[in-house]
Amino acid sequence: MASSKLRNASAEPEAECALDMSPMIDMVFLLLIFFIVNATAIIVKTDPAIKPPIAKSSKRQADGNGRIVVNVREDGTFTAEDFNTILGGEDDIFDLVKTLKERNDAMGRTSKLHLRGDKNAVFKYAQIAVRAAARAQVDQVVFGVFERQP
C-alpha cells in the first residue's frame, strides 16, 4: 500500500500511459496490400453492337472464372471477348475455345462458353458456337441476357 502511494506521489502529473499505434498502422497497411494483391478482377468486355435479349428468370452467374466469351451479332458474325477479333466460323471458334480451355485447365479452372447473342440473331448462329465449343470439349454454356426488372 505504501509503495503505491509513494509511486503515485513521485510520478510526474503529465506522464500518462501511452499506447504506440505505429505497429498497428503498419499491420493494417500490410493487410490492405495483401488483399489488394490477392484480389482478382473479372472484367467481361461487352460488344456495343450486341443488344442481348431480356429474360424473366435470369440469374447472375456466381463464378466468372473460366469464361470463354463469344459474341453473336445480328448478321451472324462472331467476335471474341475483345469484340475486335472477328471469328470466321465454326473452325475459328473451335480454335479460340480450345486455346482458352487449355489455359483454363492449366490454372485449374472449369471452362464455360459465355455466349452473348443479339436479341435479333437467329438461333442457328448460336448453335454453330455451341457445336464448336462441344468439339473443344467445353460442355457448359452460359447465355448472356439482360435481367428483367420487376
Enter the DSSP assignment of 68. E
Number of Cβ within 10 Å of residue 23's Cβ equals 8
Number of structural domains, the chain? 2
Cell of 110: 472449369
Tens digit of each residue's pLDDT (9 = 90 or more) over 38-65: 876 666 566 777 777 777 777 777 777 7
Residue 28 lies in a domain: yes
Over 60: is that where the pLDDT of 150 sits?
no
Residue 13 lies in a domain: yes
Number of Cβ within 10 Å of residue 95's Cβ equals 14
Is 0.75 surpassed by the pTM of this model?
no
Instruction: Pinpoint the alpha helices (H) of the chain.
Output: 2-10, 22-38, 90-106, 123-135
Same domain, 24 and 80: no
SS3 state of residue 67: strand
Task: Say if residues 116 and 144 touch (Cβ distance below 8 Å).
Answer: yes
Q: What residues make up the domain containing 23?
A: 2-38
Which of 130, 136, 99 is closest to 115 using CA atoms? 130
Same domain, 34 and 10: yes
Task: Say if residues 143 and 117 touch (Cβ distance below 8 Å).
Answer: yes
Number of Cβ within 10 Å of residue 133's Cβ equals 26
Residue 49 lies in a domain: no
Burial class (CB in 10 A: 0-12, 13-18, 19+), 141: middle
Mean pLDDT in residue range 126-133: 87
pLDDT band per the 50, 70, 90 thresholds, residue 124: confident
Same domain, 77 and 143: yes
